[in-house]
Amino acid sequence: MKPIRVLIVDDSAVVRQVLSEVLTSDPAIQIMAAAADPFIAAQRIRDEVPDVILLDVEMPRMDGLTFLRTIMTQHPIPVVICSSLSENGSETALKAMEYGAVEIVAKPKIGTEEFLRESQQALCSAVKAASSAHLRPLRPVDPALNADAVLRYASPRAMMQTTEKVALVGASTGGTEALRVFLTAMPPDAPGIVIVQHMPERFTAAFAQRLDGLCAISVKEAANGDAVLRGRALLAPGNFHVLLKRSGARYFVEVRDGPLVCRHRPSVDVLFRSGARYAGKNAVGVLMTGMGNDGAQGLLELKQAGAATIAQDEATSVVFGMPHEAIKLGAAGRVLPLHAIAAGILGACQ
């Protein structure tokens, strides 16, 4: 197979060098060129079209958002945003997803060995996912390891005295748009929802806040001990696992640190396993678009515990990796297009 050719666009020479070294550590990736700003990048693209563009947001002469919109309008190319994602920049990075960026990853912290190692996994995975992404025209946004490393497997013994339902949802590449479509379709009295979307730290709070303004249900970044309630969706914070727990008839979430599971933290497998243990047949598991296999084994465990399980179909997935792996395992009770998932959950909860 030909290597994935990447164009890096960042105004910092040091960052360009670090990103080049991190990406070329994977033999499947090749750096086609590096550019200090979008104008130089545009010239590089005229000479040779890359498979993926790794793009910073804040740059001189032209910002990354303007360049991204130009690319997606004139010559769509898969774009991965690589940003420091400071609190002030989260909204800008989130807007980049709306403009067509496939994925967002955090810039490696130079000199921090553990972070560089984890950045390598995140960056390489994002570039590979982007290279196989199904690019679609932009749609307007309405205003308004395995899991054993975190939670040991046990035969599900969910207390069945309660009939309260809970929906557990996992997504990765392409998931920000998929979650928007799904959550805006949920009614105000929807069952409690817990979500893992692979995202960097400090990005999830802004994403949850934006969704909260669009949806009939409330959406918030999960905090340790938050109750899972009807009409509320809890989004796992970046860089932390989230587990469903239960006390009597009350569901709540535990937010904890831990190792990367299936190369991710938060991990969908961890959430789904906790759901199999503490909710069992009272859960509905949903696995959406994303690269890799995170969530496939967990969805199978949910199904074996009696939960209803749904996988997003290939036609509406940006990357048909995670749902495909679940389907191959026999973990998906139903395979649905994105626009039908909300109704599928509500039907399973009746």
CA–CA gap between residue 96 and residue 102 (Å, rounded): 9
Determine which one of 198, 241, 264, 324 is catalytic: 198
**Catalytic (active site) residue 241:** no
Nearest to 279 by CA among 170, 158, 152: 158
Structure tokens at 53: 């563009």
Backbone angles phi, psi at 5, to 5 degrees: -90, 125
Nearest to 263 by CA among 95, 120, 52: 120
Q: How far, in whole angstroms, is CA 96 from its chain's centroid?
A: 14
In sequence order, which residues have a C-beta less than 8 Å from that of residue 11 and are 6 or more positions away?
36, 37, 56, 58, 59, 60
CA–CA gap between residue 241 and residue 258 (Å, rounded): 7
**Catalytic (active site) residue 269:** no
Determine which one of 172, 267, 274, 317 is catalytic: 172
- Supply angle C-alpha 155, 158, 161, rounded to 5: 150
CA–CA gap between residue 208 and residue 176 (Å, rounded): 10
CA–CA gap between residue 227 and residue 145 (Å, rounded): 28
| Alpha-carbon distance values, 45 to 13, 53, 277 (Å) | 19, 10, 51
3-state secondary structure of 262: coil
In sequence order, which residues have a C-beta less than 8 Å from that of residue 205 and are 6 or more positions away?
90, 221, 237
Determine which one of 226, 269, 294, 313 is catalytic: 294
**Catalytic (active site) residue 172:** yes
Q: Which are the catalytic amino acids?
A: 172, 198, 294
